């Protein structure tokens, strides 16, 4: 189960067990014109890694309190979320939360919560297709820069704007010869397809390639 599947599964569990709040994914940028009237929790994948059969992922959740809500409401919500995480995923590696503070984008009180997973698998090595050419690789890791508009499912106008999304992907154990000639290329790795990619670094000696992209969709293996 990949990180995004963990996220959607967790949001579904939250909706079932905690009816007093609105749980949703973070969505793409847009103009903010509406504020919530009940606690809202948004989630996204903050990072994922697969190397040598060791898989790990980090989910980022943010709790937004409506204006006038008591801080106690947020604390109780975070406690309930922690219980749901442990029930849904007993092998979760870590649950870490931050204290409430003002969110600059929305003006609401907000607190972050991070859920980490670590698992071992039998497979070693990954499939990477770079610029249409398949290259063997030892592993990969993606970091997702936080920042998305917060929009309810089925609605067009977000209630808070928190910027854009950039994916930084490192491919380890890969032959980098000739890759410097690529620009605006596509990469398929880890079940995802990244488009309009640009190199951040190429290390022929260390067999490491790092690229950035603002465009990602389900695809690849």
The answer for residues whose C-beta is within 8 angstroms of residue 76's C-beta and 6 or more apart is none
pTM of model > 0.85: no
Give the pLDDT of residue 126: 83
Q: At what angle do helices 3-17 and 71-88 cross, to 10 degrees?
A: 120
Between vectors from CA 54 to CA 49 and to CA 60, what angle results, nearest 5°?
40
Give the pLDDT of residue 41: 93
Give the pLDDT of residue 191: 84
The 10s digit of each residue's pLDDT in 141-190 is 999 885 555 544 445 544 544 445 789 999 999 999 999 999 999 999 98
Dist CA 71 CA 65 (whole Å)? 8
- State phi, psi for 98 to the nearest 5 degrees: -110, 165
Give the pLDDT of residue 30: 42
Continuous H helices in the chain: 3-17, 71-88
Among residues of the chain, what percentage have pLDDT more than 70?
A: 83
The 10s digit of each residue's pLDDT in 106-150 is 788 999 999 999 988 655 668 899 999 999 999 999 998 855 555
Dist CA 41 CA 112 (whole Å)? 9
Say yes or no to pLDDT of 28 above 50: no
């Amino acid at each position: 189960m990949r990180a995004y599947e963990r996220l959607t599964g967790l949001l579904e569990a939250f909706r079932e067990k905690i009816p007093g709040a609105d749980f949703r994914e973070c969505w793409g940028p847009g103009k903010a014109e509406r504020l919530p009237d009940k606690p809202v929790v948004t989630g996204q994948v903050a990072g994922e890694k697969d190397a040598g059969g060791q898989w790990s992922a980090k989910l980022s959740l943010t709790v937004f309190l409506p204006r006038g809500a008591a801080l106690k409401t947020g604390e109780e919500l975070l406690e309930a979320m922690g219980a749901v995480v442990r029930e849904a995923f007993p092998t979760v590696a870590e649950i870490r939360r931050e204290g409430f503070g003002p969110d600059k984008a929305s003006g609401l009180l907000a607190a972050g919560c991070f859920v980490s997973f670590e698992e071992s698998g039998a497979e070693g090595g990954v499939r990477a297709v770079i610029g249409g050419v398949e290259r063997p690789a030892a592993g990969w890791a993606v970091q997702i820069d936080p920042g998305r508009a917060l929009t309810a499912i089925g609605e067009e106008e977000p209630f808070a704007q928190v910027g854009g999304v950039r994916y930084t992907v490192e491919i380890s154990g890969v032959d980098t010869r000739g890759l410097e000639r690529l620009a605006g290329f596509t990469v398929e790795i880890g079940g995802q397809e990244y488009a309009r990619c640009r190199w951040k670094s190429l290390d022929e000696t260390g067999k490491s390639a790092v690229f950035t992209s603002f465009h990602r969709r389900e695809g690849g293996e």
